[in-house]
Amino acid sequence: MTSSTNAIFVNENENIFEACANHELMVNAEIRKHLKFISHKANNNYIGYYQFLGEDDVYFKIYILPKTTPRVENNEELNKRNFIGLLSKYYELKQRYGSVKPKMVDKSIIDFSFENDKKENKSDDLDDFIAYKYNDALQTIESFFKRHKNALSQELKFHSQSIRHRLDLKQNIIELDKSKIHQRKKEPYLYSKLAEISIEVLQHFIKHKEKNKIAKKLKNKIKSKYSIDKNFSFKTKEIVSKKVLKLFKKSDEKELYLALLTLLGIESYFEDNSYKEMIKLHNQHAHFFRPEKLFEWVVYDDLINKYGKESVSKEYVQSYKLAGEDRESKPDFVVQNENVTMVIDAKWKILKTKKDITFEDVAKLRRDGIILDNISKSLLIYPQIEFDMRNITMNIDDFRFTIEERKI
């Protein structure tokens, strides 16, 4: 029996359940779990792609478009092309300005980067993007286990009331409680447990997602390098448990962990140290990112093209005091050259009327404009403005600013 595909397009903040009802999708308990997860993403202003297997061997591919990109009814190819265009632009700008990192929760994987900018890696097909994502994860796993020996020694500091290991003279001198004897000891740092988990994930990936020769070769290489406990039992759903997460402590171990999540198609599940129920890992592919991050890069790119890279600062920080306390001003962008000193904020918001510009929109810009010296212009940039804004300069609470539109 050949699988069929049903593509559904929604916009961020749109009701995914209503969209599926319009496609006459019968929502059972299993599908509701998937839709609940997607709805959480859409309602929190993520855009992205999610695929899962429904009944009768039908795959559902759900695309969440940004609010600035209205979907076109009965035109799947145009909607898909619009989505791929946004994804391509995101990675193009991410590569170009790799030193400009979006502020994200540490190791919250809603994106991945392509290390190679060769033309053959420029794709207009989402399945190719997914393939590149998996390839990037496999390279991360291979690099980790190539760097690390199967066992290393690490020095641990501890204290006790008896001498068992080498004394830590410095700590003992400064220690006020002389019943504590500070010591150092070397213990083996074993990577076998991480290897065992990685082997199981690779096996799952090969079996359910990609009969990938690179993955198979990598699995066998790891297996031959490390001593694997034959009694070790690990189920892929356990990877998001606190017990397993605690095994991945160092920064490169966390990178390994996120690569393993990616192979399982669940990198978007793990955020803000929350642990969610897993659902049939082999039936899903997921990829999400924040459209406001794309918009920030679009604005940054536009400012650089207009004023030159040496004149544009992103993540600019200015220290100041307020009521005797040290504070920091962090405008999105600052442009400084011999002609202008400008503070700029990018707002991921559609303006239908002038009344849609609120005090909350300008509060940060107003504060930054007051704190920074010799500001000649304060600017708010929006992705979509639906009224005539020619020569528009506005005032809110005696604060004068300008608005501009920059489409993505």
pLDDT over threshold 70, residue 310: yes
Domains of the chain, residue spans? 1-101, 115-150+193-260, 151-190, 292-405
Measured between alpha carbons, how far is residue 313 from residues 140, 232, 299, 332, 338 in Å? 31, 52, 12, 8, 15
| Percentage of residues of the chain with pLDDT beyond 90 | 12
Overall average pLDDT of the 254-280 stretch: 66
Q: How confident is the model at residue 230 (pLDDT cuts 50, 70, 90)?
A: low
Query: Which runs of consecutive H residues, i.e. helices, occur in 334-390?
Result: 359-371
Handedness of CA 162, 165, 167, 172 (dihedral sign): negative
Position 186 scores a pLDDT of 62
Mean pLDDT in the chain? Answer: 76
> Torsions phi, psi of 184, nearest 5?
-130, 145
CA 4, CA 59: separation in Å to the nearest integer?
6
Task: Rank 67-71, 84-88, 133-137, 398-402 by mean pLDDT and report only the highest.
Answer: 67-71
Task: Rank 94-108, 276-290, 379-393 by mean pLDDT and report only the highest.
Answer: 379-393
pLDDT tens-digit readout, 138-149? 988 998 988 876
Overall average pLDDT of the 282-301 stretch: 81
pLDDT tens-digit readout, 157-216? 767 767 776 777 777 777 777 778 888 776 545 678 888 899 999 998 888 777 778 899
pLDDT over threshold 60, residue 122: no
Position 107 scores a pLDDT of 29
pLDDT over threshold 60, residue 119: no
pLDDT over threshold 80, residue 106: no
> If you write DSSP's letter for every residue of 247-263 in order, what string do you get?
T--SHHHHHHHHHHHHH
CATH number for the domain running over 292-405: 3.90.320.10
Q: Is the pTM of this model over 0.85?
A: no
pLDDT over threshold 80, residue 84: yes
CA 320, CA 402: separation in Å to the nearest integer?
25
pLDDT tens-digit readout, 343-376? 999 999 999 988 888 888 888 888 887 777 778 8
Top-confidence residue, 151 or 387: 387
Position 307 scores a pLDDT of 92
pLDDT over threshold 80, residue 31: no
Nearest to residue 107, comparing CAs of 282, 4, 261? 261
CA 71, CA 79: separation in Å to the nearest integer?
6
pLDDT over threshold 60, residue 121: no
